[in-house]
Structure 1
Amino acid sequence: MTAFLENFHFLRPWALLLTLPALGVWWASQQASDTTRRWRRVIDPELLKHLVVGDRSRRLLQPHHLALAGAFLAILAVAGPTWQREKSPFAEQAAPAMIVLKVAPTMTTTDLAPTRLDRARQKLADLLRLRDGMPAGLIAYSGTAHLVLPPTPDRDVVLGMAGALSPSIMPREGDQLAQAVKRAAEVLRDGSQGGSILVVADTVAPGQATALKALAGGPPVILFAVAPPQVVAADANLAAAVSALDAREVVATVDGEDVATIARRLADAPGAPVAAGDAVRWQETGWWLSPVIALLILFWFRRGWVIAS
């Protein structure tokens, strides 16, 4: 109880000034409803009470009384009474991950059953399951890069889009990883929520390292190499791309260790900075008065209630 009294205050105390016009309207309404006011000036009060039939001014509950009570409650609700804090919904917003998926003929190689592309999709399904509810976007690339889906917390939509991708629908063959990473960085920057980039590829074309080096310093990058470990180890272009992007490399494994590692690193990615004072805020409680206000309004729908007074 002591904590309640110490913390109780109004978020918008200026709204309490509305009680002054509310009292003015109530007083005017009360004067207008007093039908004997003018007669009291010329007739003795003791005689007047015997001349008036059915004096409704003696009723304890009248419409303008309920109107005043409803107005006071509405003003209190608008003023925002509060006594406890709550976390802001923006304070713990998960940082998004932009998935950059290579969709080129090399991804149809069967050294990872059933194919490298299918294995990549399986791993992405496991990853999004671990990151359930956290936003993820999708970019597909081969000879060109295309935004498939901006960050969304709906993993089924992301997986559905990834499942529909194949090299046959890409407009041009090739390996434009730098173009895809640049597009992913733009999406994250436009979203203003921080985040990181997950590149899912088996190989990197020669010459891409130079273009990728110009993109260093952007969002953190994880390169998920979807190829047998011996192929990854022998790929100098892949190693050059990792170095150029200052990325963290994760090689596909037969178990779930690769997915768990990626999930941990994505969780460490910085999100959007929270402004001072936005992490915790005072909880709005004025809306709890809404049912009481609604009940008071119901009396105004009684037949003859307002007119009879």
Structure 2
Amino acid sequence: MIADFHFLRPWWLLALVAAVVLPWLLGRQTDVRARWRGMIASGLLDHLVITRQATRKLRPVHLTAAAIALGAIAAAGPTWERERPPFVEDTAPLAIAIDLSPTMDATDISPSRLERAKLKIQDLLDRRKGARTTVFAYAGSAHMVLPLTDDAALIKTYTASLATRLMPVPGKDTARALQAAEAGLANEEAPGTILFLTDGVEQAALDAFSGYRGRHDLMVLGIGTAEGGPVRIGEGAYLTDSAGARVFAKLDVEGLKELQRQSSVQVATVTTDDTDVDWIVRRIQTAFQQKAAEGATRWRDMGWWLTIPIAVLGALWFRRGWSVQWTGVLLAAMLLALPDRADAADRRLADMWLTPDQQGRLAFERGDFAGAAERFRDPAWRGIALYRAGKFGEALDAFAQSDTAEAYYNQGNALMHLARPEQAVAAYGQALKTRPDWAEAKANLAIAEALAAAKKKDDEEQEAQDPNEKPDEIQFDDKGKKGKAGTVDAAEQTAEMWMRNIQVTPADLLARKFAIEARGETP
């Protein structure tokens, strides 16, 4: 601990010079002998000057010097231990990439490789309660299934619907899946883990893994056996070769070993018990702690403890006859105007020290989104507060005051809550014109297009049945569970809130989404 002691802002220690010089200067000004020494002979001076007998009584200048010294040390930031920064999760975010190539339907592992992978995901979610997880599916293309969420039930629902038939592009492109998962964790402050559930990594992807320099840990869990098994393609039907013989898909053991030799990827194979899940959970936490210690922690500033003796010294400034009483008044005013104590009763006092946007930000961080919306003057932040308060119509008006990519993205989110997917498609499209590589906007655009197409189809069917019958009202359930308190950027809002309310099956929705994304990726 002593070896780690240092100051975060050492230049503030220069103020200690003032703490030493101030008493000396004031002492010279009050020294009568020093002022007359050059005018009267020293032999006569002792008899002519009448001074009070020197005392060691505490004087205001000594108190001021002590306060300056303590303040300088506090401002310099003494520290000797580390802490995690605020608003960073205590658990690592996890990106799961599931291989949906045809060989994942092999039955060498009961009931199949893919079904066993789904069971392992459920076990992982049960072990990591409250942790945020995102899911990707890949074959010849890679697609986000769900963005980062801590809703285990939602993840289980959508992973249970995954099937190899959903993938629009045949083959296997693990390198593209790595890029997609990396993009899914790009906005995370804390380092995370990317886990691949697959029966093999193709040779072409080895360079992507060996050359990976990202801050996230990579893991691969091989699903399958070295002996292999037949690939089911339907009820009682199996994949056959040109001669009519069944194709046996084998776990690419040599490829996985080569991957571990050429890169820092942690590789293991599936087990019938929970040994593999325990290994994954331990590795995720260990990698998270190591990377957090490297870059995601900061030194704990201990200087604030010195405010206690400074406050005690400040109380002594109220003594009658002391010449620095104004300091105590200033200290009292600062304590009364602390921003996190401001409420309706002392708004006027808060206005003296904080701008409306600063007051709005403090209310936002306390979870008072309606109050924050009243205080914010910045339209973007006012829109975010209104959005969080559930006032989507007013939020839409606030977002419309700006033409940035974030503003269009947020307009799309608000429009989706207002059950207007056609307009949301246009808003997301405008956002992507400015930021073409915005993964969240692409994902939400695909869902909005699917919803708009489904709504149009339903309307056409209803009109065909009865032209005079009006379509039913489309409603969205806004009673989603609340997230953890903290600072949240509205640009990170995702498709999760709408996926809960789709009237088509999750498998159908994902198939549409993957097909739309694939058309945008391939000529």
Structure 1 residue 96 corresponds to structure 2 residue 119 = no
1:105 matches 2:120: no
CA distance in 2, matches of 1:108, 1:136: 24
Do the aligned partners of residues 192 and 91 (structure 1) sit closer, same or farther apart at CA in structure 2, a change above 3 Å counting? closer
Corresponding residue for residue 186 of structure 2: 189
Quote how far apart the aligned CAs of 1:190 are. Answer: 2.5
Higher relative contact order (CA 8 A, sep 6+): 1
Which whole-Å CA distance do the structure 2 matches of 1:237 and 1:133 have between them? 34
Given candidates 277, 280, 296, the residue that maps to 1:273 is 296
Matched-pair identity in %: 29
- Output one character per residue of 1:19-74: Cα deviation in whole Å (capped at 9) or x when no partner: xxxxxxxxxxxxxxxxxxxxxxxxxxxxxxxxxxxxxxxxxxxxxxxxxxxxxxxx
Q: TM-score, normalised by structure 1?
A: 0.58
Structure with more helix by fraction: 2
**230-239 or 150-159, which deviates more:** 230-239
Offset of residue 160 of structure 1: 1.7
| Residue 229 of structure 1: how far off its partner (Å) | 5.6
Unaligned segments of structure 2, at least 5 residues: 1-82, 229-249, 306-337, 347-523
Q: How does 1:34-73 map to 2 (within 5 A)?
A: none
Deviation at 1:132, TM superposition (A): 0.7
1:120 corresponds in structure 2 to: 117
For residue 187 of structure 2, what is the amino acid of its counterpart?
Answer: D
Q: Does 1:248 align with 2:245?
A: no
Q: More displaced, 143-152 or 170-179? A: 143-152
Aligned residue in 2 for 1:134: 131
Provide the aligned length of Structure 1 versus Structure 2: 208
Answer yes or no: is the 8 Å Cα contact 1:216–1:246 preserved in 2: no
Give the Cα–Cα distance (whole angstroms) in 2 for the partners of residues 212 and 201 of structure 1.
Answer: 15
* Cross-structure match for 2:326: none
Query: Which TM-score applies when normalising by structure 2?
Result: 0.36
Determine the C-alpha separation between the residues in 2 that align with 1:130 and 1:203: 26
Instruction: Call closer, same or farther: CA 1:92–1:145 in 2, change over 3 Å.
Output: closer
Q: Distance in 1 between matches of 2:207 and 2:84?
A: 45
SS at the partner of 1:222?
Answer: strand
Q: Any conservation in 2 of the 1:101–1:139 contact (CA below 8 Å)?
A: yes
**Mapped contact 1:107–1:116 kept (Cα < 8 A):** yes
1:224-259 superposed Cα distances (whole Å, 9 cap, x missing partner): 111126567763222223334421112111111111
Question: Secondary structure in 2 aligned to 1:101?
Answer: strand
- 2:140 partner SS: coil
Question: In structure 2, do the counterparts of structure 1 residues 243 and 136 end up closer, same or farther at CA, with 3 Å as the change threshold?
Answer: farther
CA separation of 1:190 and 1:90: change in aligned 2, threshold 3 A = closer
The alpha carbon displacement at 1:159 in A equals 1.8
Q: Kindly report structure 1 stretches of 4+ aligned residues shifted beyond 4 Å.
A: 86-89, 229-234, 285-293
| DSSP-derived class of the 1:207 partner | helix
* Matched residue, 1:18: none
Alpha-carbon distance change, 181 to 226 in structure 1, aligned in 2, over 3 angstroms:
same
- SS of 2:90's partner is coil
Could you list the runs of 5+ residues in structure 1 that have no partner in the other structure?
1-85, 294-309
Q: Secondary structure at the match of 1:268?
A: helix
Task: Report the counterpart of residue 236 of structure 1 in structure 2.
Answer: 254
Deviations 1:140-172 (A, max 9, x none): 100011122222111122222211221111111
**Aligned partners of 2:89 and 2:190 also within 8 Å:** no
Task: Output the CA distance in 2 between the equivalents of 1:269 and 1:229.
Answer: 29
Deviation, structure 1 residue 277 = 3.9
Q: What is the match of residue 203 of structure 1?
A: 200
Amino acid at match of 2:105: T
Find the aligned partners of 1:228 and 1:204 in 2 and give their Cα distance. Answer: 15
Indicate conservation of the 8 Å contact 1:104/1:166, yes or no: no
Would you tell me which structure has more strand in proportion to its own residues? 1
- Quote the residue 2:218 is aligned against: 221
Q: Which residue number corresponds to residue 163 of structure 1?
A: 160
Kindly provide the amino acid, as one letter, of the partner of residue 296 in structure 2.
P
